[in-house]
Structure formats: C-alpha cells, structure tokens
Amino acid sequence: MNDPRVLKVRPTADTYAWTFGGSAPIARIAPGTVLDLFTEDCFAGRVTSEKTLVSEVCTFPFLNPQTGPFYVDGAEPGDTLAVHFVSIEPARDWAASTTVPLFGALTSTHATASLQPPLPETVWIWQLDRERRTCLFTGRDSPIRAELPMDPMHGTVGVAPANLEVRSALVPDAHGGNLDTPEMRTGATCYLGVNVAGGLVSLGDGHARQGEGETCGVAVECAMNTVVVVELLKGVATPWPRLESDTHLISTGSARPLEDAFRIAQLDLVQWLVRDYGFSAMDAYQFLSQAVESPLANVCDTNYTAVAKVRKDWLPAPVAPVHGGLHDHLREFAATLR
Amino acid sequence: MNDPRVLKVRPTADTYAWTFGGSAPIARIAPGTVLDLFTEDCFAGRVTSEKTLVSEVCTFPFLNPQTGPFYVDGAEPGDTLAVHFVSIEPARDWAASTTVPLFGALTSTHATASLQPPLPETVWIWQLDRERRTCLFTGRDSPIRAELPMDPMHGTVGVAPANLEVRSALVPDAHGGNLDTPEMRTGATCYLGVNVAGGLVSLGDGHARQGEGETCGVAVECAMNTVVVVELLKGVATPWPRLESDTHLISTGSARPLEDAFRIAQLDLVQWLVRDYGFSAMDAYQFLSQAVESPLANVCDTNYTAVAKVRKDWLPAPVAPVHGGLHDHLREFAATLR
Amino acid sequence: MNDPRVLKVRPTADTYAWTFGGSAPIARIAPGTVLDLFTEDCFAGRVTSEKTLVSEVCTFPFLNPQTGPFYVDGAEPGDTLAVHFVSIEPARDWAASTTVPLFGALTSTHATASLQPPLPETVWIWQLDRERRTCLFTGRDSPIRAELPMDPMHGTVGVAPANLEVRSALVPDAHGGNLDTPEMRTGATCYLGVNVAGGLVSLGDGHARQGEGETCGVAVECAMNTVVVVELLKGVATPWPRLESDTHLISTGSARPLEDAFRIAQLDLVQWLVRDYGFSAMDAYQFLSQAVESPLANVCDTNYTAVAKVRKDWLPAPVAPVHGGLHDHLREFAATLR
Amino acid sequence: MNDPRVLKVRPTADTYAWTFGGSAPIARIAPGTVLDLFTEDCFAGRVTSEKTLVSEVCTFPFLNPQTGPFYVDGAEPGDTLAVHFVSIEPARDWAASTTVPLFGALTSTHATASLQPPLPETVWIWQLDRERRTCLFTGRDSPIRAELPMDPMHGTVGVAPANLEVRSALVPDAHGGNLDTPEMRTGATCYLGVNVAGGLVSLGDGHARQGEGETCGVAVECAMNTVVVVELLKGVATPWPRLESDTHLISTGSARPLEDAFRIAQLDLVQWLVRDYGFSAMDAYQFLSQAVESPLANVCDTNYTAVAKVRKDWLPAPVAPVHGGLHDHLREFAATLR
C-alpha cells in the first residue's frame, strides 16, 4: 500500500506499548488517517514451538504488545474514536496457543483460588493456510488433526482509560483493551469513548481465530498485518466499547461476575436503540429480549467480556443515521484502498 | 396426526404439572413413543391483553404449567432419555410478554436485592403470522412496529431431579427444566440423564421466539402444539442436559454466577469430545477454545443457563457414532410422521 | 429431663428425614412444646476413623439426616415458627471432619468446574473434651496438635419450602436448611417463615465448632443431644431466616454469587429496623452501614450464606418489643427447664 | 510530637495523590521512619453539610485523596513494607456519610446495571465526641438518634501496583488501596508487597467507624491525624495485603465475585500457617475451616474485599517468630512515641 493517505508503522522491539495509558504516543495523526500496522502476537513472538513455554520465555508484564498508541488530533474527553478494520492478515503461516498455569476458564486461577495444582502447561502450534483460509489443529497427546476456518481478529483495541489510570494491555474494561471478541474482524467499526486528549489508541493481540469465551484463555495467537482507518466523532460519548458491522449493532460489557458483563452490554444496547432508533427504554428492553444475540467474548481475562448484538435489518428505520452513517462511509472508503 | 404410534395429549386445567419431580405421571409410554402434545404458555394462559398483569392474574406457584410427566418404561437412574422435537407450532395467533416486578436481568431482584423500587409492570402482545412465520412487536410507549422471524422453541424440558428433590418448573438445573435456550427448536434432540425410575419427563413454556439471555426474563410466550419422540438410551449417563442438531453438538450448564454455568457447559463439551471423538482432555480444551460458540440461554432464572456448541462438520470422525447415530435415526423417523 | 412439657425424640436409622418438604411428620406438637432431640452427624454416623472416607461409606442422597419434621399445630403460610435453642451438647467425645472431592471453597467443584483433579480425600478425627469444652485438632501430615474452644451449633434448621418444592437437607435457602452459621448456638432463637400447614420443622448437622465460611465444606461434625422450644408467631411473615440472641438481631441470606447472599441479609436487616425500630429505609441503610457485623456462614454449600447482625444495645428503643418480647420470654422459660 | 525520628506531613490541596502508582513521591524516607500525617476525608473535605451533595461538590477523579506516596529507601520488588498504626485520631468533631447514585451494595450500579432509577442522594452528618469516643447518628427522615462507639480506621493504605499499572485510589487489589476493612486500626501492622523501587506507600480515607461490608458504600468519613511507622522486610514477598494485630493474623483478598475475594483471603491464610507455623497445606485447610473468622471488609468497591483472620493464641508455636517478631517490636517502639 503506497497510498499517501496511509501511515505505515512497523514497530521495533522497544517501541511496543504494554499498557493503555501511561505510554507516550508513537505518532500524531489526523482524523481519517489510514494506519497500515504490524502487530506482534500476545507472546511478543517468543512462543515459537511446542517447547517454548510462556512461563520460561515470557516475562511479566511484557505480554500482549500493543502497536501504538496514536494521538488523534482534536480528540478530547467526551468524543468518540472510530476504528474501522479494513483488513487483518496473518503475518506468518503458523500461530501458537497454550495453556498458562492458573489462567483460563477451566482451572482455578489467582482469583478463583484453590489448593489444587495447576493444569499442565502445553503449547499447540497451529498451521495457517493463508490461501485456503484455514487453521490446522494438531493434537498433542491424541492423534487428531482438524481444520477450522481462518477468521482473523484483534483481541485488543483500546484507548487510554479514565480516572488517571494506566491498565495492563491484558485488561478489558470501559476503555476497550483486551476484549477478546471475535466481532473485532475485518469490516467492523469499533467505537471507543475518549478519556484523555488525543485518545491514545493502540491495538494488538491478533488471533487467526478464537472461540466464543476464549475458554483456555489463549486464542490462535498470530502476528498480523492490519489496516485500519481512525476517525473522530466530536461530541459523541461512548461509555462502553461498541462495534458496528454491515449487519449488526454490537455492544460490549466487561466486568465480573459474568452476569454484570452481560448486564452492561444489554443495557448499553437498550440505550443505543433509545438514542438512535426512537425506542422508549421499556420498549427497547422488551424488543431486545426477543431479538438479541448474546455470544460471549472472553471468560478468562481480568474482567470477563460479554457481547450483545442485534441485526440492523430487524430494526425500524433510525431516527437519524447512526453516527451520520459513518460505518457505511468507512466501508466505501476502505474499498478504495484495495 | 392419526398415527397409531402417536399418543395425543390435550391436558385440562387440573392436569398440568408445576414441578419436576413430585408429580404423578399422566401416562406410561414405551421408548420410541411419539407424543402429540398441547402445552399452555408460562402464564397458564391468563395474560391475554395489555391489561392482564401477571401480578394480578397469576398465582404462585401456578406458573409455567408442564404437560406431563410421562413415565418411560425401562428408564432407570444412569440411563438417558432423548426427546426429539418433530415440530413446535404456535397454537394461537398471538403471544404475550411482560416485565415481572423484581425479575429479569436489568433490574434488582429478590436475590440481587436493592432498595430501589421495581420497574413498571408492562405487558406486550405480539401478533404471530403463522403463514409468514413472523412475530410483530408493537411498542407500548413508543410508535414502533417491527417484525421478527418466528423461531418456535420450548423454554422448559426436563425430568425428575436427583437427590429426592422436587423443583419448581421455573428452575433450570442438571435435570433440565427451565433452560430457556433457543436451541430447543424443531429438529433438535435433547438428552436428559434419568434420576428416578421412569424418568418422568415433561415439557412446556413455548416461545414463538426468544433472544439469547432472555434479558427481561420473559420471551414471546405462546401455547404450542408440539410433537416429540421420546427414546431411551440404556446405560448412557448424561450429567447435564445436552442437545444435538443436524449441525451441532450442544452442552448446557445452569448455575450462578454465570461464569459457573459457562464452566459447566464448556467442561461438558470437552468431555463429550473425549468420550465420542477420541480427544484427550487437554486437546479437547485447546480445540474447543478455538471452535466453540457460546451463546447465552437465560440470565434471569433461578440458575442462569449457558450453552457451549460446536459444529459437527468441524470435528474429526467420531470413534463411534454419537449414541449409535440416534439423532439421525430420529430425524429420519420424524420425516415419516408428516 | 422428665418434664411433662417435653417431647423426647430418639430417631432410629429409618426415621431420619433427608429433605425439607416431602417427608411425613414424625410428630404433631403444640406451640410451646419443648423438644429433647438426638441428632446424628452429617455423615449419618458413618465416618468414624481416618480410614472411613465419605466417598466409600456414605451414599447420596443419604447425607445430613434431619431429626423431624414436626408438624406444629396451627402453623399456616404467613406465620413464623420460632425455634429457641435451650442446649446443644455433643453426644460423643469425638467428632469428624473431612475433605470431600470437588466440594469446598478452595477447590474446583461440580459448579465451579475445572479440568484439575480433586484434592485428596482426608479425614480428621477431633477429640472433644466435654468437661473442658475443647476440641483437639491433630494434624494428618504435620506434627501439630492444637486445641480450640468448643462452641456447639446446628448447621441445619429449617421448614418445608414454598412453591411445592422439596430440597435436599444439604441446601440452604429462604426456608432455612443448611445455613451453617455458628450463630445457631445455645441461647439463640431462630425465626423461620411458614410455607405449608404445620411448618414441618426439623434440624440436624451438629457442629462442635465451625469457622466462619466453613472453608473446606465440613465442620467438626458431631451427633448432638439438643433441647429446643418451638413457638408459633401467628400473622408474622419472615421471608428469610432470622435469629435473635441476647445481644444481637441477626439476618441471613443464602444465594450465589456471595454478594447476593450479602445483599439479601443486609436488606433484611434494614427491613427489620424499619418494621420494629421506626427507621426509614434510607436511615436504616445508613445506620447499618456503620453498625453492622457481617461474618460469613458458609461459602461451600449449594447456596452461600451470609449473616448481617447488629448489637441490640446500639439500637434505639423498639417501637414495640420485637415479636412481643418472645426471645426474652423463651430465655426465661428455658431457664426453668434446667 | 517533636521526636527527631518523626517526619510530620501536612499536605496542601495540590499535594494529594489520587492514584496508587503514577504519583511522584512527596518524600524519601528510611525504613523505621515515623510518619505523623494529616489525611483528608474521601470527599477531599467538600461534603460539609446535609446540603453538599457529592454529585455537586466533588469531581471525578478527585476523590479519596492520599497522603503520600513515600519512597522507602532500599525497598525493591519482592520485599514487603510494614505500616504500623501508632494512632488514628479524628481531626474534626464531625464526619460525613452519604449515598452516592449507582454506588453501594443495595442499589444497582454501573456494573450491576439496571434500568431502575438510582436511590436518592442523601447526606448524613455524624457528630463525633472525641472525649467519649462516640459517633452520633441523626436520622434524616426518621426521628432517630443513636450513638455508636468510635473505632477509627483507614479505608485506604497501599503501594504502587505491579505490571506498570496505575490504579485509582478508589480501587482495592493486591497492592492494597481501598480495602475498607475496620481491621486497619490503631495497633495493627499492615504488610504490603513491594512492586516498584521505593514501594511508594500512601494512605488516606479515614473512617471514625465503619460496618463490615460498608453496605451503602460510604463510612463515617473523617479527616485524621495519624501516626504510622514504616518498616521494610527485605526478601519477604507478600502477594496480598496482610495485617497483624496483638491478637490475630489477618489476610485479605480483593476480587469479584465476592467468593473469589473470600477464596484469596482464605488461601493466603492457609499459606501463612504453612510458611510460619509448620502446617501442611491440607492440615492448615482443615484447621482454619474450624478456626477462622471471616468478616467482610467492603462489598461496594471496584473489587470486593474479604478478610480471613485467626487468633494467634489458638495457634501452635510458630516455627520462627512471624517476620522476626516485627509486630511486637513495633508495638514496643510505638509505646515510646507517646
């Protein structure tokens, strides 16, 4: 891509960010900038075979490197940044997954503490066929090979948090961060509320694919070549991360216990219908109770993340186009970049 | 349907069951029996307009009437009953939904107790177009009409519980009951572990459609004409309710907090792959972490219910056909009933 | 005790109840009756040495035998039964505790499901010195002996539940049951709301002592000789079990997650101050936020149980004596029984 | 106090810290330094009457001002700071409490999200009698006055967190922070694991008294004159905040849901007995299950905090004095300061 509208960023080992907030911007960009980015995998590229255990090759807190942050000119608290995913392409023909001791949904953890010993630490290397768009699973102690469709996504996209805080890149919350939802795929637009001047948006944690809930805590982790467009919505507040695809409005909530993540996402989607589609709160509550899809994002991270989504073509006409039709404009613009 | 293999049951007001366990069987059936059933809606048919409030027309514990239970000859603890849904058809051209004071996900409840007053009690009547297979929403205090696809299902299917217990028909747990998952639709087979002689299976709580999570606590509630085949799997234990569709293996878990429901369902699906597909536990954990779909069922009932499902065509060949290919046989048999 | 006001009950192996609800009463008593009871320990007396493992000597659902139930003349739904503990005396000079596979707070369980193997199943026999009122701990794999004060209590006291349900004696909920709170000791009065005619009260699960939260899931389990007075409060509803001691008003809540148990107990105590002490709800909320003691009861059972208690001598004068001064009357009456 | 060993700090409005981590130290101190501190109340002193509502007079994130942080010479990750409370004295003869919209245990919140309107925002001013050591409650809409014992404590004591994070002073976690436990009173020693060079310890959030669980989310909030001694334990790790009093060993855990906070605290106390008292893990699990006290600290903050404590005089002799007898030494040293 040699488009003058495009800023190409290839980070070096010492230019990754490990937090949201607290990291100096690596570039200042105008709204509308196209970013052509490389993102390293969540292991900082250190897990390269079945023998490279996270506990041996990785060092806390140097996990989940972020490409960025980017300071967006004019972004101020109360505004919203829109990150539109033009393309997300695996940068290698393999990806790694693993169990991590005392991390994941089907094990005790540092918080769900027990006296039981941790599960074994095992690495799986997945082969990616980028032509055929597949991910090949090979069992470690069972003779199983199985191919799954490739469905690249970013586990982590976020801005600097509110309240003077700096959060590890492993945390999902109101600022985005490690949401780990498969909805963050090519063609989607992610809306993030701005908490500090410039927003300070960054992204990373590419997954060649991921199940809903990210049960073992780790996806098919892969370095990515990713193109996004970053836009700015002045005067629009977004309390919790939202996404928009060609087909769906998508709210997220991140909290523990998991029902609170569910409540946040569902209430946010109710409020979205109230704001943009003319529903009363009670009517939106009823309508969504029958129409919503509620796939889980992650049930393993510091906060759990739930998704609430509704098909746009099931909704009445909006009072006014959502965000002035921004998602559609970005889709059209993205098409010009190819 | 005048097939001799078919037992037709049209309950009267005094023959419904209100519990799982503790109700005398209304019929004794052989394995393989086809049941042609009428089920009343969860309000026992008493909510008929926007003016009939649950708090005024319904009386605890006479909610969620069950058609049954049926004593299945030869069913003993340690066996599994299979309930295959041949058809689920709304019995009326309207359905009712409502908010119920201190019940639902976006309100405090008797358990998530607060000092706030309850939300207003509001009834919505949905118009069902059984030809066009649609459900029409009409706003109560906003001028909105919107049509959703009809997708009929049963919220409640279960057997008598273990441990000498009798549970309200409003409760989902290991015995099934009020799971409230949209997966319980025509074409699916539900597997339930038998806890007492005869199993004592019953069903009810038809929904013309339901969102994932049943956010407000109430679906598009509708009386149903439903046909099921009940089969018996001797010597097969099923600790938590499972479903099988033409496309998916589906596990459920019911518990609070919601992450425990998630854990139960995910672990059960891991164990399913271990039992029938030759995965080691760790390989199944890894594979499903990347392949699983995790839509929520309900986040409002006494226990919350989570679903874990995986596409069959993503799996390797099973070690032996699941349950001897029972689901496929039932599908073929069901086709002969039409 | 040969007092004519006293009904002495020594159950045999086949007369224990294993549920609340669903068990026929073993006696009909008038309000004010003194019951002189033997209760077996939660293992039905089968764990007698370090070699008798629960998983080998006990059979589900035959755990936690209850002495009763008793049908109290005149008790109807909407009334309250008061159970005053005159004395709770260990019936043996030893008691047993144990870990149970996949049960307890510091292990994964059937609900908080994991892929980890369970903790070892280990039995500890505690020596009780009934003269010196001590319980002697002897380590199993560390050379430790330590004496703790004896503080006898009943883990389980309850009535038949509402909504046609029958619950295992292992369950704590609104009907009481397996609350496992050390507050249930000699000198306390327990108030239980009546759900069915006669109330059907029973008790069991004596503990020579128990820590708050019953961390490993099992206390110092001991058969007991226990004397209680059962009284009836007509027209007084008690939604959740309450206790009264000479010094405290005590509310309980049982639910999952644990914060819901906390919320129920705290709200109940707010409502107690509103009903009997003339507080507004908001004033009671504020006052209790500064005055309440919140020790945990159990964090291991089917529901977790939290306690909210407040010192009576910190309260203003009640609007009218609580329950007409019943607790004080029962204390005086109990003194005449010795 | 004019002792040369004492550093007196009286912050000005612009020298408070609002976070743990991310704030420059206000002084560098040697281990063993006595700090004579003024701490402002959690409202930064702005709530002064029943008419000064938090929502009107306070501005996020400028809540819960911390006095500090202090850089302790020689403190490095892996060490432990000990903060011994010599005295905590209310600096005024009144204190304020309040409800805060969508904050507290008996209301929906931003995380436990609902569609219900928030509770009213009400301020209570408590009169403190520093001679008689009492706090006088006056009802806002009920004619109630009631006196509670004064029991001054600090809600917030902590160090800079691990993993490059900066956390709001309102957050309790492994770094300490807003634990809100009444155990943090005069005579106690608090142990905090060091995460960054110098530790960066600060404290604030004085309470004239507080109930267990801090139900409404706000205690009897009061500026304090507080004297602490800060010591350094080289080479001793403390994963979660611990306290030691003359009578008890005390562990804390902070997490959601509340059972995870419970699990963390109980496991930490098990590990304390293993490290210092020669228990095996299983023996400590059994012993503490019968001996532990489990009062709640807060069930309202970003994380909930549970306490697990055990009487020292119930324990066998330690293998070696805990922390070389540091708590006893600090008690003796504190006596010389009066």
CA A286 – CA B215 distance, rounded (Å): 8
Question: In a mutagenesis test of the C interface, which of D106, D136, D286, D303 is the best target, namely the one with the most C β-carbons within 10 Å?
Answer: D286
- Annotated domain spans of chain B: 6-335
Cβ contact C111:B255 at 8 Å: yes
| Residue in D220, D326, D305 with CA at minimum distance from that of residue D257 | D305
Which candidate from C113, C115, C119 shows the least CB-CB separation from A115?
C119
Residues of A at the D interface (Cβ-Cβ below 8 Å)? 18-19, 21-22, 60-61, 110-115, 162-168, 170, 253, 255-257, 260, 263-264, 266-267, 270, 281-282, 285
**Which of the four pLDDT bands, split at 50, 70 and 90, describes residue C2?**
low
> Is C100 a residue whose pLDDT tops 80?
yes
The β-bridge relationship of strands B145-149 and D153-158 is: unpaired
CA D151 – CA C290 distance, rounded (Å): 10
> Is D1 a residue whose pLDDT tops 70?
no
> Is D303 a residue whose pLDDT tops 70?
yes
Question: What parts of chain B have a pLDDT lower than 70?
Answer: 1-2
| Residue in B69, B26, B62, B35 with CA at minimum distance from that of residue B46 | B62
Nearest-Cα distance to chain A for B316, in Å, is: 6
Alpha helix positions (H), chain A: 54-57, 258-277, 281-291, 326-336
Give the model's pLDDT for residue C47: 98
Cβ–Cβ below 8 Å for A263 and B292: no
In tens, the pLDDT along A12-62 reads 989 999 999 999 999 999 999 999 999 999 999 999 999 999 999 999 999
For C106, the closest chain A residue by CA position comes to A114
Residues of C in contact with D144 (CB under 8 A): 277-279, 283, 287, 316
CA A57 – CA A48 distance, rounded (Å): 10
Give the model's pLDDT for residue C320: 87
CA C68 – CA D28 distance, rounded (Å): 68
Cβ contact B158:B175 at 8 Å: yes
CA D88 – CA B157 distance, rounded (Å): 60
What is the dihedral sign for C-alpha D275, D276, D278, D281? Answer: negative
In tens, the pLDDT along A155-167 reads 999 999 999 999 9
Fold assignment, D6-335? Jelly Rolls (2.60.120)
Nearest-Cα distance to chain B for A51, in Å, is: 16
CA B317 – CA C121 distance, rounded (Å): 38
> Is C4 a residue whose pLDDT tops 80?
no
Q: Give partners of B (≥3 CB pairs < 8 A).
A: A, C, D
* Assigned token pair, A189: 């637009």
Calculate what percentage of chain C has a pLDDT beyond 70.
Answer: 99
For D173, the closest chain A residue by CA position comes to A111
pTM: 0.98
Give the model's pLDDT for residue B206: 98
What is the rounded average pLDDT of the residues D239-264?
Answer: 98
Nearest-Cα distance to chain B for D187, in Å, is: 36
In tens, the pLDDT along A213-265 reads 999 999 999 999 999 999 999 999 999 999 999 999 999 999 999 999 999 99
CA D276 – CA D273 distance, rounded (Å): 5
The β-bridge relationship of strands C6-9 and C33-39 is: parallel
Residue-wise DSSP of A273-284: HHHHH---HHHH
Give the model's pLDDT for residue C3: 72
Please tell me the number of Cα atoms within 13 Å of A72 on its side-chain side.
30
Give the model's pLDDT for residue A266: 98
In tens, the pLDDT along B166-210 reads 999 999 999 999 999 999 999 999 999 999 999 999 999 999 999
End-to-end CA distance of chain A: 8
Residues of C at the B interface (Cβ-Cβ below 8 Å)? 18-19, 21-22, 60-61, 110-115, 162-168, 170, 253, 255-257, 260, 263-264, 266-267, 270, 281-282, 285
| Residue in D261, D250, D268, D269 with CA at minimum distance from that of residue D302 | D261
CA A217 – CA A99 distance, rounded (Å): 7
DSSP code, position D312: G
Which candidate from A145, A211, A315 shows the least CB-CB separation from B288?
A211
> Is D104 a residue whose pLDDT tops 80?
yes
* Assigned token pair, A331: 């889709």
CA B168 – CA C195 distance, rounded (Å): 14
Give the model's pLDDT for residue B2: 61
Backbone φ, ψ for residue B312 (5° rounding): -65, -35
**Which of the four pLDDT bands, split at 50, 70 and 90, describes residue D2?**
low
Residues of A in contact with C257 (CB under 8 A): 257
What is the rounded average pLDDT of the residues D57-69?
Answer: 96
What is the rounded average pLDDT of the residues C117-145?
Answer: 98
Which candidate from A264, A270, A285 shows the least CB-CB separation from D111?
A264
CA C266 – CA C307 distance, rounded (Å): 8
Residues of D in contact with C124 (CB under 8 A): 286
Give the count of beta carbons closer than 10 Å to the beta carbon of residue D334. Answer: 20
**Which of the four pLDDT bands, split at 50, 70 and 90, describes residue D68?**
very high
Residues of B in contact with C255 (CB under 8 A): 111, 256
Cβ–Cβ below 8 Å for A263 and D113: yes
What is the rounded average pLDDT of the residues D13-29?
Answer: 96
Nearest-Cα distance to chain B for D107, in Å, is: 5
Residues of C at the A interface (Cβ-Cβ below 8 Å)? 106-108, 112-119, 257
Residues of B in contact with C112 (CB under 8 A): 260, 263
Cβ contact A214:A298 at 8 Å: yes
**Which of the four pLDDT bands, split at 50, 70 and 90, describes residue A2?**
low
Cβ–Cβ below 8 Å for A289 and B119: no
**Which of the four pLDDT bands, split at 50, 70 and 90, describes residue A293?**
very high
Give the model's pLDDT for residue A320: 87
Cβ–Cβ below 8 Å for A294 and B212: yes
CA B117 – CA D107 distance, rounded (Å): 10
Nearest-Cα distance to chain D for B283, in Å, is: 28
Give the model's pLDDT for residue A206: 98
**Which of the four pLDDT bands, split at 50, 70 and 90, describes residue D195?**
very high
CA A280 – CA A287 distance, rounded (Å): 10
CA A178 – CA A172 distance, rounded (Å): 4
What separation in angstroms does the CA of D221 have from each of A190, B328, D41, D46, D156?
41, 67, 6, 11, 12
For C170, the closest chain B residue by CA position comes to B163
